[in-house]
Structure 1
Amino acid sequence: MSLSLVGVGGPDGYLQDKRTAVRIYSRAGRVSSTGPVGRVGYAPGVVFDERFGRLDPAVWTASYLPAWSSRDAAAATFEAGPDGLDLSIPQAQQLWCPDLHDGPLRVSAVQSANWSGAIGSTDAPQPFRDGLVVMEEQPTVLGFLPHFGTISVTCSADLSPRSMFSAWMVGLEDEPDRCGEICVMEVFGDTVAGGRAAVGQGIHKFRDPALREDFSAVPLDIDIAQSHTYAVHWRPGAVEFSIDGVTTRVANQAPDYPMFLTLGVFDFPDRPGPAEHVPHLRVSRLTYRPLPEGA
C-alpha cells in the first residue's frame, strides 16, 4: 500500500489512499474530508486538546515504529488517567529491535499516526538504518496530523544518566522526501545535574532535500522533574521553539507537509547508570492550534 497526499498545498489538504479518506488538520485549520478511519483527534474543529484521560486507539498507536518489528514487540508501558499519560520502562521490558538497532535500546512511546506497506516492503515511516523491510504490516491509523500551527507538550520526566525523553514531529513518508523532523524537545539524562539540563531542539533533515540540519542541545536552567511546556510555532518557512512561553531558538526553514507526533522515553542499557532505575515521561497535556486564516 502506498499513501499519497492530495491537495496539501492548499487550505483544504487531505490525506488518503485508495480505500480511506481521512480528516487532517490543514494550514487553515479546517477539516476537509471524513472517512472510515474514524475521527481525527477529539473534534472536527480548529484545535486539538489532549489530556490523556484514556489513550484513544483511533488517535494513538502505543508501539514505537512497529512496522520494523511488530506492535507487540514494540509495545509501550504506560498508564493513562486523570493525571495524564505516564510512559515508563520497567526493568523487565524487552529490547526494541535487538537484532537491528545499533546498540541495546528499550523504548516506551506513543505516536499519533501509523501505517506501512506489505511485509517485505520498505514502505513505513522513519527507517533507522539501511536495508530495513516491513516485518509486520500495519493498519492505517491517522490520528493527529497537523500541517503548520502551534503544538505544545506539557510534561515532566524522571531520568537516569542512561535514559532520555523526547517529543518530535515527523513526516509520514507517504512520499520518500516527506521525512523531515521537528524536534520539540530532547533531553538525555547524563546532561541533567543541579537544576540544569541540555535541551535539544531543532530540525533534522534526514532525506528531505528541501531541509538542512539545524539542531542543537543547549544547557538551560530547568528542572525536568517539574512540569514544563515545550512548544513549536510552525509556519511556512520558519519554526519557532519555546519553553514555558520563552523563545529558545528560531529555525528559518520548515517542513511543508503533514507530520505526526511521537512522545517517548528511552533507555540505553549499555551506558553508565543504575540498571534498577525506571525512567518516566509524564505528559499532562498536548495542544494544537492551527495558523490563523490567511497566515
Structure 2
Amino acid sequence: MEGLSPGDFPPNPLEKEGYRLEFHDEFTGPRLDTTKWFPYYLPQWSARERARPSYILRDGCLVLQITADQQPWCPEFDGGVKCSSIQTGVFAGPLGSEFGQHRFSPACRVREAQENARLYTPRYGYFEMRAKGVRAPGNHVALWMIGYEDAPERSGEIAVFEIMGAHASAEAARVGHGVRRWGDPNLRDEFLEPFLPIDAAQWHVYALEWLPDHLEFSVDGVKISTVGQSPAYPMQFMLSIYEVPGDIESGEYPKQFWVDYFRAYRPLRDRPSGS
C-alpha cells in the first residue's frame, strides 16, 4: 500500500473486536487470487473474452482500470458501456436462456455457457473495503452485491457504495448506497445519494453491516444511513469500474479504481449462518 496523503483515511486493523474474519484479500500477491475472485463481469450475457477486466496489482493494491483502447463489454445488450469488474460467484442457465445473474435488460440471453461457482456468497455479516476512485464524468466505481440468483426471485442488489465521477470533486462526493429490488418481490427500491465531505479520489473505508432485518452503511467509521429491509439469501460481491458513453471527459488513461483491501467478518454473537 502506498503512503498516506492529507485526506486519506488510514487502513483499519485486520482484527475487528466482536467479529471473526471470514474472508479477505489484501491484494499483496503477484497475481489475482482466482480462488477468491472470478475475473469476469457477468460473462453469461457476453463472453469471457469481452468480459475480462483490465487490472494490475501494484503497491499491495488491486487497480481495476478502463484503458484508452478498451472495448465495450456487451454491446448487444449494454451498448457502449465499458467495464472492468471481478466477482465472487457466477450462475447462468443454459445457452440461449433468460436465466442468469443480474439480468439488467429484458433482451438479455445467455450467450456463453458458464461453469457455475460460489467462491464467496455470504448471508449477513460485516464487510468493508478501503478504496479510492476517480473524479471524471462518464466513469463510476462501485462495491455492490447481487443475489446468487439460483432462483429468479433471489435477485436483489445491495450497493455498498457507488460513486459517479460527475458528482465528485476535491471537496465532496455523492455516495450512492442502498437496495434495488430487481426481481425480488419482498424488496423495494431504496437508494440513497447523500453528498459527503470527502474526496473520493483519496483513500476511504466503505462498509456495510448486513443484518436480518436492516442494513447499516458507513464511511470512514461513521454511519451514514440505515435501510430498514434486508435480502434473506446468499449474495456475491462485485468490484467494478465503468465508463458510460455520452458524458466522457477527455483526459489521461487509464481511469483507475484502487482497492487496498476487501474484508468480510462474521459477528461472534449468534446470527444465521453464511454459505
Match of 1:99 among 43, 55, 76: 76
CA distance in 2, matches of 1:131, 1:98: 12
72-81 or 166-175: which moved more?
A: 72-81
CA distance in 2, matches of 1:219, 1:293: 34
2:25 equivalent to 1:50: yes
2:225 equivalent to 1:249: yes
Query: Per the alignment, in what secondary structure is the counterpart of residue 67 of structure 1?
Result: helix
Q: How does 1:125-274 map to 2 (within 5 A)?
A: 125-274=101-250
Deviation at 1:278, TM superposition (A): 2.6
CA distance in 1, matches of 2:94, 2:113: 5
> Which amino acid is the alignment partner of residue 186 of structure 1?
E
Deviation at 1:290, TM superposition (A): 1.2
Query: Per the alignment, in what secondary structure is the counterpart of residue 100 of structure 1?
Result: helix
Deviation at 1:97, TM superposition (A): 1.0
- Provide Cα deviations, 1:139-198, integer angstroms capped at 9, x if missing partner: 122111111000101101123111110010110110111011110000101111242110
- Provide Cα deviations, 1:269-292, integer angstroms capped at 9, x if missing partner: 321411644311111111111133
Deviation at 1:59, TM superposition (A): 2.0
117-126 or 225-234: which moved more?
A: 117-126
CA distance in 1, matches of 2:50, 2:153: 28
257-266 or 150-159: which moved more?
A: 150-159
53-62 or 211-220: which moved more?
A: 53-62
Deviation at 1:46, TM superposition (A): 5.1
CA distance in 2, matches of 1:111, 1:162: 22
- Provide Cα deviations, 1:72-107, integer angstroms capped at 9, x if missing partner: 111100112552210001011101211221x42100
Contact 1:165–1:264 (CA under 8 A) maintained in structure 2: yes
2:77 equivalent to 1:69: no
Using the size of structure 1 for normalisation, the TM-score is 0.81
User: Among the aligned pairs, what percent are the same residue?
Assistant: 33
| More RCO (CA 8 Å, sep 6+) | 2
Query: Per the alignment, in what secondary structure is the counterpart of residue 73 of structure 1?
Result: helix
Using the size of structure 2 for normalisation, the TM-score is 0.87
CA distance in 2, matches of 1:121, 1:273: 37
Deviation at 1:237, TM superposition (A): 0.6
Structure 2 spans left out of the alignment, 5+ residues: 1-18
Query: Per the alignment, in what secondary structure is the counterpart of residue 126 of structure 1?
Result: coil
Contact 1:159–1:280 (CA under 8 A) maintained in structure 2: no
Count of aligned pairs: 251
Deviation at 1:261, TM superposition (A): 0.2
Question: Runs (4+) of structure 1 moved beyond 6 Å?
Answer: none
2:76 equivalent to 1:85: no
CA distance in 1, matches of 2:146, 2:159: 8
> Which amino acid is the alignment partner of residue 191 of structure 1?
H
Structure 1 spans left out of the alignment, 5+ residues: 1-28, 30-44
CA distance in 2, matches of 1:217, 1:95: 27
76-85 or 242-251: which moved more?
A: 76-85
Contact 2:91–2:150 (CA under 8 A) maintained in structure 1: no
Which residue does the alignment assign to 2:16?
A: none
CA distance in 1, matches of 2:232, 2:206: 21
CA distance in 1, matches of 2:146, 2:23: 18
What RMSD over aligned residues (CA atoms) do the two structures have, in Å?
Answer: 1.6
